[in-house]
Structure 1
Amino acid sequence: MSSIPLRYEIYLANLNPTIGGEIQKTRPVVVVSQDEMNRYLETIVICPLTTTIHPSWRCRLQVNCDGVDAEIVVDQIRAISKQRLIKKIDQLSEAQAAQLRSIITEMYGE
């Protein structure tokens, strides 16, 4: 991966190996770390996506990614190496990004 991943871009990433209940395999992830961090650090903060939809779960955000209905799994937020990124596949809209920020703030902020 030669380009700098930007906040709210969606990439295909290899999340293996994992331990326990961590989300695994190669799957889409949305970058949630700030662009400045993404530029200088070797890691990025991401939320993985899943096609298992739970409409009533407040810790998840439903989106359409690359033509597929999916859910951003905010409860599995984690830092990964940029080396895990395979390719950019999509990007959140401004409205989706705002919703994601709101969920992250509700879950992890004060």
Structure 2
Amino acid sequence: MGMVVQRFDVFLVNLDPTVGHEIKKTRPCLIISPDEMNQYISTVIIAPMTTKGRSYPTRVSCYFQGKSGQIILDQMRTVDKSRLVRRLGRISELEQTAVLAVLAELFAE
């Protein structure tokens, strides 16, 4: 049985190799794909997290493992589950609501 992956979990993810301005290296990433996808498909949709960078409307402020940072929704991507190194935890319900609001805005017409 594979690892259990749920929406709003934070995993350490190996993002390399990357191209151009894609965010690089192994770093915490938020799982944003729905649980139905996470359960049955071998890929997940993730959004990288960082403790650096500027604020943008497409980024959600968060506090995770004692550090302030951002969830970078403008860099979300689909990755194979083999890139997931280990589960680090989960973001708060308030941060979950903020992520969903920004995602809705990103895909609104």
Which TM bucket (shorter chain)?
over 0.9
Q: Which residue of 2 aligns with 1:108?
A: 107
User: 1:68 deviation in Å?
Assistant: 1.5
Q: Which residue of 1 aligns with 2:21?
A: 21
TM-score scaled by length of structure 1: 0.93
Q: Using the alignment, how far apart are the partners of 2:78 and 2:68 within structure 1? A: 24
User: 1:25 deviation in Å?
Assistant: 0.1
Q: Using the alignment, how far apart are the partners of 2:107 and 2:65 within structure 1? A: 28
User: 1:51 deviation in Å?
Assistant: 1.1
User: 1:63 deviation in Å?
Assistant: 0.6
Q: Which residue of 1 aligns with 2:68?
A: 69
User: 1:64 deviation in Å?
Assistant: 1.2
Runs of 5+ in structure 2 lacking a partner? none
CA contact (8 A) 1:53 1:62 kept: no
Secondary structure, counterpart of 1:21 in structure 2: coil
Q: Using the alignment, how far apart are the partners of 2:93 and 2:108 within structure 1? A: 21
Structure 1, residues 60-86: CA drift from partner, whole Å, max 9, x if none? Answer: 111112111110001001000110011
Identity level (%): 35
Runs of 5+ in structure 1 lacking a partner? none
After TM superposition, which residue ranges in structure 1, 4 or more long, deviate above 6 angstroms? none
TM-score scaled by length of structure 2: 0.94
